[in-house]
Structure 1
Amino acid sequence: MKKINPTIKKFYGYHLSTKSYTGKVALSTLKNASRNKIQKPAFPWEFYMYRQLDMRITGRERSSYGLAQRIHLYADCSILICDYLAHGTLQDVINTYAVQGKPMEEVLCIYYTIEMLHMVETLHGVGLIHGDFKPDNLLIRYARDDLTEEGFLDRSGPWCDQGLCLVDWGRGIVLDLFPDDIVDAYGLCVVVHMMLHNCYMEIAKEESSDGGYMYLPKQRFKRYWNVALWKNFFTKMLNQYPGNDDRRLLQELKKSFQDYISSDPKMIKALRELLAKQRTSIK
């Protein structure tokens, strides 16, 4: 079969560059809703992980984990065709606060923390690990309709389409083959720490009340935050051991954040306003 050498141009945002493509990902010139990920040498594992997602996660949850349409394999490279979301990443959201020199609003941090806990809980429940959990691998999803106060807890109505989408599965792990479910927990902590503090997480070893020790972030929590909520999150997530009930812990932590944010209708209202503002400010 004759080898095809497609011409690929690189987009910077919505502006087409005339320079030849040198990076790993380009938006397709043929379909506005797809992107081409070029890897040298060929790397079919990521496509395999996307197909595992297709088989193991169904229904409304599937849109939270990226979609791969097909892969083209050649002797020296592969081209993975993926769906494209044009709303930026969680890293972009964090950066908008960093350039202003202020932290993200706590209610928005809590919302995205709930989303990530739910995503990791779902993944681990079907035996999959992402392996590279970081904010620039979390694309932003927006609901087509306006968000309402109803449906937040059970992710129904417009809230079903609002949230995050985890992409770039090249370091994904199938737990049936390689059992290790702690790596995503640490990555999730790093993302939450970046939202709260605008900096990468550094860990300190501290004495615990039972005479042992535990790991906690070096950066201290702001006193006007819900310190008990965040300390409980980091303490439990950073001090897991192999064999612990990972999914039960994720469910308990998710519920603690949901209960807090649902305890005051003003927080849901503030969250809706912040998400609407975020949508207009990040293009």
Structure 2
Amino acid sequence: MTKPTLAELQHEFDKRLKLYNGTNEVSDLWLPYLAAIQDVLPEDNNGENTLANNQILYPICLKCLEKFENNSEQIKNKDFAEICLLIPEMSVDKGLWYGLFYKKQIGVKYAHLWIDWAEYTEENELNWAGAWGIYEEAKKFVIDHDECAEIDKAYRAFADRFQEWDKNEYEKEQSKVKPKNRATVTKRKTQTRSSFEIMMASEPKTKRSPIRAQASLESDDDPDCQLLPECREAVRLEYSRMLDMSNTSLMGGERVSCIPSNIRRGSIVPPLMNIFTIDQVLRRQSQVPINDTLDENFLDVSCIVVDERDPFDDHIRRQILDKRGINYAIMENYSVEKTNLPTVLSKNKIGTKIEKVKLGGTNYEFGKKLGEGAYGYVITARLESDPKVTYACKIQHPPTVWEFYILTELSRRTIRKAGQFDLNQRIPTVYRLIEYNDYSVMLMQRAPQTLLDFANYHISRDRYVPLCYQLYYSIEMLRIFDYMHRLRIIHCDVKPDNFMVLHCPTTFSTKKASCAPIPSLMLIDFNRSIDLKLFDNGTAFVTCVPKKELACVEMLNNRPWIFQHDLFGMVYSIHVLVFLSYMTVCEDQQRQDGSMTTKAKFSKRIHDIWKEFFYEFLNIPDCQHLPDLNAWADRLELLLFEEAKRIKSKDTDYASMFRMKLDTHLNQFQPPPPPTPAPTS
């Protein structure tokens, strides 16, 4: 019986595809069609498919993978794995590993697919280094706890084989080296390590001199001074020299490396790994943690490079995190529930009475609603077993983990030292994040009222905010952003209602205190924040925010911005304290040089320093010439000391009522009673 031709197979397949009414199109039609195509294609002398055959099979394999979609039942089908393993055998485009793994994210959450391909790379291609890279990449994508355990089990078994292989390869290389003439051998001994020892070492053999934190935070005569380990950049430079970056895969990005088509089975393929994978391994296995430090020269760059991508887009954020090898699943206090949020916590039902709900294995009670926005709402929560432990519970749709990541990073990067400014006391403490199918639930520190409430309190009493409070809270803002920007985090949603008032003093010191100042403001809502450590140094942005009144001058003029957006929001918030009105920016008609100013009138009651302050912060030349926040904070602090000598108790006694409101608001949990219906006539 003669074999059918390709044209006949194609015609028969098209006819069956039109008439098919079943539920499993892949198994019933595509896989038999693929097998029939393979059967009729001629093989070369070695019994393998030729390049021409692969060019025919390749699009059919990809079509099969597309049909599988991301269905958990279909993905576990053995046929899917077989097709995936068939792809690397073809010399059409080996770089498109696992078909659509990085194009459409098909199957990336399933451990057995990664393990299958790693074993294929190890056994068939004899590429142990490449297999190691695959296991490392798998840890970025596999999220489920059981799937992660499966990856770890396979990885531990592989590590022993990898070490033995690397040792043999190292000995082979050493045996090929010709011994030097004894007369030319020096007495100096050098220590050489194999590539596996370098990749898997618990810590580098030769440690560099430790880097101290900034002088203002640590002094030489302090016996408790903590030394920082060698910086991350030095580690990257040390290990990047040992990698062939020309064949590096940018995981999570658009570019995927292509292994040359002339590399056949049995040859050593360049390893599938990148520098961020090495960095991740060092973080996980090193006995000396690689900490981030305060970046004193965070704008000491030769040029600014504009990134036209939207830094607020969640898809782009995920891409960048994937590229950097950051996986939410391994973060502490993060968990996933593969169900929907309990209906009693829905926006329409919550806030009318106390609800008892079990979240992530813990029983909570939920009370009054604290606030509501476009993407979610905040309600009070407390432990059912201990009602004294209260939280602010932020519920968002669609589910997001970004704010949790930013707050966790800020807390991790902050250097805590007694007597010094502590940013952790000025940002919310996150206790837990639970990601549901439809919502995310974040339990964090609860704070009383906002800076906007403080301004409205003065409006309700028909009085302006005294200069001492203007200075007091402005100094706190300047310190917060000076410190946070050195940690390379931009908030990007700074406004008066995102500052929570923690402390409202009625007396002010007339000289600088020796101890750390009491935290007076807490900056909240980091949903739109940017982590500059995920970008190259000197990266600037041009994306404009939807609300034009909160857009900085650079955004309105289509100029690059980095920290200017935060500084504009800070000035916007200070404007509310000084003028008791929102800020509107316009061109300064008096100067006639294109400079910007606020439309508000600088009357006699407004201190002269604010005119200079608003001018400098609204007319920033470029990204490399920003105002000195620390210098401005010191300057305002000196003015506050002078003002403290002048003010009398009657000038601040009225604020004691607001202090009482802070305590009352913080202790409220019971939802307000429903409104009484109007009597019917």
- Deviation for aligned residue 1:280: 2.4
Where does the alignment leave 5 or more consecutive residues of structure 1 unmatched?
Answer: none
Measured in 1, the distance between the counterparts of 2:498 and 2:587 equals 29
- From 12, 18, 28, the counterpart of 2:381: 28
Residue in 2 that maps onto 1:71? 433
Q: Deviations over 1:6-61 (max 9, x none)?
A: 4444279xx9569xx99611111425431111111111111011111111223233
Q: Write the distance in 1 (CA, Å) between the matches of 2:636 and 2:352.
A: 38
**Equivalent position of 2:351 in the other structure:** 10
Contact 1:261 1:267 in 2 (8 A): no
Alignment of 1:8-157 (within 5 A): 8=345, 9-10=350-351, 16=367, 24-30=377-383, 32-59=389-416, 60-85=422-447, 87-142=448-503, 149=509, 153-154=512-513, 156=515
CA contact (8 A) 1:11 1:27 kept: no
Q: Specify every segment of 5 or more residues in structure 2 that has no aligned partner in the other structure, as ranges.
A: 1-336, 354-365, 417-421, 541-561, 665-681
Secondary structure, aligned partner of 2:586: strand
Larger-Rg structure: 2
Name the CA distance, whole Å, in 2 between partners of 1:106 and 1:264. 8
Residues 54-90 of structure 1 show CA distances to partners (whole Å, capped at 9, x for unaligned) of 11223233111111112101121111111112x3111
- Distance in 2 (CA, whole Å) between partners of 1:43 and 1:203 is 33
TM-score, L = length of structure 2 = 0.37
Report the 3-state secondary structure (helix = DSSP H, G, I; strand = E; otherwise coil) of the residue aligned with 1:52. helix
TM-score (norm 1): 0.83
8 Å Cα contact 2:595-2:619 kept in structure 1: yes
Is residue 255 of structure 1 aligned with residue 634 of structure 2?
yes
* Distance (Å, rounded) in 2 between the aligned partners of 1:35 and 1:174: 24
Q: Which residue of 1 aligns with 2:220?
A: none
Secondary structure in 2 aligned to 1:195? helix
1:217 corresponds in structure 2 to 598
Determine the C-alpha separation between the residues in 1 that align with 2:465 and 2:508.
Answer: 22
Q: What is the aligned-residue identity percentage?
A: 23
Contact 1:262 1:268 in 2 (8 A): no
The answer to whether residue 584 in structure 2 is matched with residue 202 in structure 1 is yes
> Does the 8 Å contact 1:208/1:214 carry over to 2?
no
Change in 2 beyond 3 A, CA 1:88/1:263: same
- Opposite residue 620 of structure 2, the aligned amino acid is Q
**CA positional deviation for 1:99:** 2.4
Instruction: Note the C-alpha offset of 1:101.
Output: 3.5
* Residue 645 of structure 2 corresponds to residue 266 of structure 1: yes
Q: 1:124 to 1:77 in 2, by over 3 A?
A: same
Across the aligned residues of Structure 1 and Structure 2, the Cα RMSD in angstroms comes to 3.1
**Are residues 11 and 236 of structure 1, via their aligned partners in 2, closer, same or farther at CA, if it must alter by over 3 Å?**
farther
1:187–1:212 distance in 2 versus 1, CA, 3 Å = same
User: Deviations along 1:143-197, whole A, 9 cap, x unmatched?
Assistant: 8x996627x635736xx33410001110111123364111011101111111112
1:185 counterpart residue number: 567
CA distance 1:240–1:54, shift in 2 (3 Å) = same
Q: 1:51 to 1:162 in 2, by over 3 A?
A: closer
**Closer, same or farther in 2 for the Cα pair 1:244/1:223, shift >3 Å?**
farther
The alignment of Structure 1 onto Structure 2 pairs a total of residues equal to 271
Is 2:505 the partner of 1:167? Answer: no
Amino acid at match of 1:24: Y
Summarize deviations over 1:93-136 as a string: whole Å, max 9, x none.
01111223332112211111111111111111111111111111
Q: Which has the higher contact order (CA 8 A, sep 6+)?
A: 1
Structure 1 residue ranges, 4+ long, deviating more than 6 angstroms after superposition? 145-148
Task: State the alpha-carbon separation in 2 of the partners of residues 17 and 128 from structure 1.
Answer: 32
Aligned to 1:226: 607
Measured in 1, the distance between the counterparts of 2:412 and 2:472 equals 28
| Alignment partners' CA distance in 2, 1:123 and 1:95 | 28
CA drift at 1:2: 6.0
Distance 1:213 1:5, change over 3 A: closer
| Structure 1 Cα separation of the partners of residues 635 and 645 of structure 2 | 18
- 2:634 corresponds to which letter in structure 1? K
Amino acid at match of 1:256: R
CA apart distance, 1:281: 4.6
